[in-house]
Structure 1
């Protein structure tokens, strides 16, 4: 595996903070990005914002292109698809997209909020996750889970690489390697293979823990895995 290969990535939910931030990081790493939205005009507007933000990047190699399109058109243009959408409406949206043959990366976190703060939703009686739901809805795609625990604020505002790790889970090694390579655009190093897709059941709700830490300490926290040495 190498982080040198460049991809063309459709970011579904590209007008939201997480999608916009990841799209910016991928393009900054030299990958071509198509931001998707229900409204192509909105996606094109956010793409212009990302291009402007990339214009202030210094000390990096050539950046990738950034454009906007409707969700379906964005998917059609790319071999790699990032799902960065709210869990509400997730299943209906995924089922509507032409995902057959695509490598699909889910960073969807099914969270709920109450007076005590954020917590993970129970999916399929505790035996499911957003990533697994996407795989069931798009059986001819290959779904992996990644980028669940990365701060949207850090993605957009931090001038350098984020000092954290991206954990990738999935059942197909080649698809995991795509997400692990894309992680280098965010952290400066390839992602970590965290195991099978079913472990998204742990990664997705763990974001609620980071939200709690952020509220307590007024930070934008992330995960760092020790003991692996450098590089991973």
Structure 2
């Protein structure tokens, strides 16, 4: 298995911290990013403590978002959609494979629902690609629960990671990385534009979670 140096932008939030933990469990080197380096370093210390005794675990450190990107092979965007475009535009991402797990959602009295991006002809992942044309953006990890990621299971082996993107080599890297989370490669789910369907699907899982008091995920049969 190839091991990567992975920057997690928004690494102090529940999703970023959980994915960073899973990547490090899989032997990858992880740099958690935040607007404040001190906050990132504190979260990195928490993840490092959680990794004690995990054989073959990678190291986890903290840095500012921009510094985290510096030597990274892969950059994961795990940030809220609010302020997404401004942050993504500011990062040094040229030439890098960028993974977006950003879900543009809104909440009202009826529950969670997906935001309409660019009149229905866009997504957070496509916005990242437009803002960083010299990067290669792949959409993945939209549907894994932060609670489950931080849980005790060795792998989330009841779930699948759906991966979308326009460049086969980048998708292959991310599909391989998914094995750190589920124990098996991710599933090639089509072109980047299909992030328009994957991102708002998270609202359906949130609705299921509220109804059944669980942390649901996605599993694909027949593949």
Q: What interval of TM-score do these two structures reach, taking the shorter chain for normalisation? A: over 0.9
| Map of 2:160 onto structure 1 | 165
| Map of 1:70 onto structure 2 | 64
Q: CA-atom RMSD, angstroms? A: 0.7
| Map of 1:151 onto structure 2 | 145
**For the residues of structure 2 that align with 1:5 and 1:157, how far apart are their CA atoms?**
25
**What whole-Å deviation, never above 9, does each CA across 1:144-197 have from its counterpart, x for those lacking one?**
000000000000013221110000000000111111111001000000000000
**Offset at residue 71 of structure 1 (A):** 0.4
The alignment status of 1:205 with 2:208, answered yes or no, reads no
| Map of 1:23 onto structure 2 | 20
| Map of 2:101 onto structure 1 | 107
Q: How many residues align?
A: 222
What residue ranges of structure 1 are gaps of 5+ in the alignment?
A: none
**What whole-Å deviation, never above 9, does each CA across 1:37-79 have from its counterpart, x for those lacking one?**
000000000000000011154xxx4000100000000001212
| Equivalent runs, 1:27-176 vs 2, <5 Å | 27-57=24-54, 61-162=55-156, 163-176=158-171
Matched position secondary structure for 2:149? helix
TM-score normalized by the length of structure 1: 0.95
Matched position secondary structure for 1:195? coil
| Map of 1:196 onto structure 2 | 191
**For the residues of structure 2 that align with 1:111 and 1:158, how far apart are their CA atoms?**
28
**For the residues of structure 2 that align with 1:56 and 1:153, how far apart are their CA atoms?**
21
**For the residues of structure 1 that align with 2:90 and 2:69, how far apart are their CA atoms?**
11
The one of 137, 154, 178 aligned to 2:173: 178
